[in-house]
Amino acid sequence: MDKEALQQLLEKISDGTATDAEIALYNSYYIAAERAAIASGVELPDDEGIAVQMRENIQRRIAPKKRPFPVRYRYLAAAAVLAGAIVTGFLLFQPGATLYHTPSTVTVSSPEIPAGGDKAVLTLSNGKQVLLNDVNAGDIAKQAGLRIYKTASGEIVYEATGNGTDTGLNHIATPRGGQYRIVLQDGSKVWLNAASSLSYPASFPKEERKVTLSGEAYFEVAKDAGRPFKVITPSQRVDVLGTNFNVNAYPENATVHTTLLEGSVSITANASTQKTILKPGEQARLNNQTGSLLKSMVNAQDAIAWKNGYFVFNDTYLAEVLLQLSRWYDVQIDPATIPTIRYTGVIPRNEPLAKVLDMLEFTGDQQFYIENKTIKIKH
């Protein structure tokens, strides 16, 4: 960010018109400036009155409600990592920003591990498999009343060209280190996270729209009052008409998280038949063992941070942090060496693994190293 852009940002924060993302971007510069001289030469405002007003505006926007922890900067445009329940200091990171500390101490005994990307395998109803990251933009297949193609941006689209009759199941699966976007025949959009899969009819029948999910996906469901949309996982069913929501249902997790951003959804637990209806900003937590279903208000944007290119950790145990990293970077973790500590913050998903571990290491007492594509902790 150059001086002119920063000045415009300061003015927006000063008059209260800045977005959450812009506030976070300002914080990244402000905190870095307090920790060290800004190497880029960008000047922060000299007017103490303006600075105080900006800080007050920021505090009003991010002040926690009866939380036992200090204020946390949890916005997606910046990346911060705070170690432990009692925060003693932190540094905000953003893509391309200078890291104000010593060079990485993360030992890597194998080639650098890059971030994941758009990778998936599509299996058509006739059994044909397509490696999506290897095909060019254009038609992939034409079935009865249906065209399947890849856009220039890499998205897979199912487009009705007539009265679709092929209701055979299609299947898209992302590997560890992969993600993908797909537009279903009804116009609904789905973002698949790493190590996830979705099964769906090539063309939806007249009665209902039903898909089966393993792993994590974000849905923007096209409105169709006559055909409810159902997302099936091994432990629950989500019923919607037209709405935006995220489902995290990795089989290795003890809990399924369903987070609603827009509209309304009904969730039914398979084991207990317990049912709940979510409003925007609410999250349902289903215990896979007991079938109990609870809900609470959350920051719904945190749940889809992965779709927007970020890891968001909110008082998250290090074991869960490393589990998320292992899926995205396609590495293993050594659970026996993981201490019971928590992290809060935001990290860009496009950084190489060593840099991400360096961010974690800088804020805590742990030292990480990578050996044979396994994240380990020094003791």
For residue 335, give the amino acid letter.
P
**22 pLDDT tier (thresholds 50, 70, 90):** low
Q: How many CA atoms lie within 13 A of 89 on its CB side?
A: 9
Other beta carbons less than 10 A from residue 43's beta carbon:
11
* pLDDT exceeds 70 at position 318: yes
- Interval 289-300 mean pLDDT: 93
Q: Report the distance separating Cα 286 and Cα 276, nearest Å.
A: 10
Which positions ≥6 away from 107 have C-beta within 8 Å? 369, 370, 371
The per-residue pLDDT for 263 is 95
pTM greater than 0.95: no
Residues 253-287: tens digit of each pLDDT: 999 999 999 999 999 999 888 999 999 999 999 99
59 φ, ψ (degrees, to nearest 5): -60, -40
Looking at 64-68, 100-104, 164-168, 312-316, which range is the least confident one?
64-68
Q: Is residue 80 pLDDT above 60, yes or no?
A: no
Mean pLDDT of all residues in 230-241: 95
Percent of the chain clearing pLDDT 70 (strictly above): 72
Task: Note the pLDDT of residue 72.
Answer: 32
List the domain boundaries for the chain: 3-63, 77-114+309-379, 212-297
Please, what CATH class does the domain formed by 212-297 belong to? mainly beta
d(CA 239, CA 264): 9
Residue ranges of the alpha helices (H) in the chain?
Answer: 3-14, 20-35, 48-62, 300-303, 318-329, 353-363
Of residues 217 and 51, the one with the higher pLDDT is 217
Higher pLDDT, 7 or 115: 115
Q: Provide the pLDDT for residue 74.
A: 34
- Going by the DSSP 8-state scheme, the letter that residue 314 receives in this structure is E
Question: Mean pLDDT across the stretch 26-30?
Answer: 52
DSSP codes, 132-175? GGGSPSEEEEEETTEEEEE-TTS-EEEEE-SS-----EEEEE--
The mean pLDDT value for 291-301 works out to 93
Q: How far apart are CA 138 and CA 270, in angstroms?
A: 40
- In CATH, which of 3.40.309.10, 3.55.50.30, 3.40.50.970, 3.40.50.300 is domain 77-114+309-379? 3.55.50.30
pLDDT at 100: 32
Per-residue pLDDT at 70: 28
Question: Using alpha carbons only, how large is the chain's radius of gyration in Å?
Answer: 22
pLDDT in tens, 149-188: 999 999 999 998 877 677 899 999 999 999 999 999 999 9
Percent above pLDDT 90 for the chain? 52
Q: What is the mean pLDDT of the chain?
A: 79
> For the residues 97-117, what does the mean pLDDT come to?
58
Length of the chain: 379
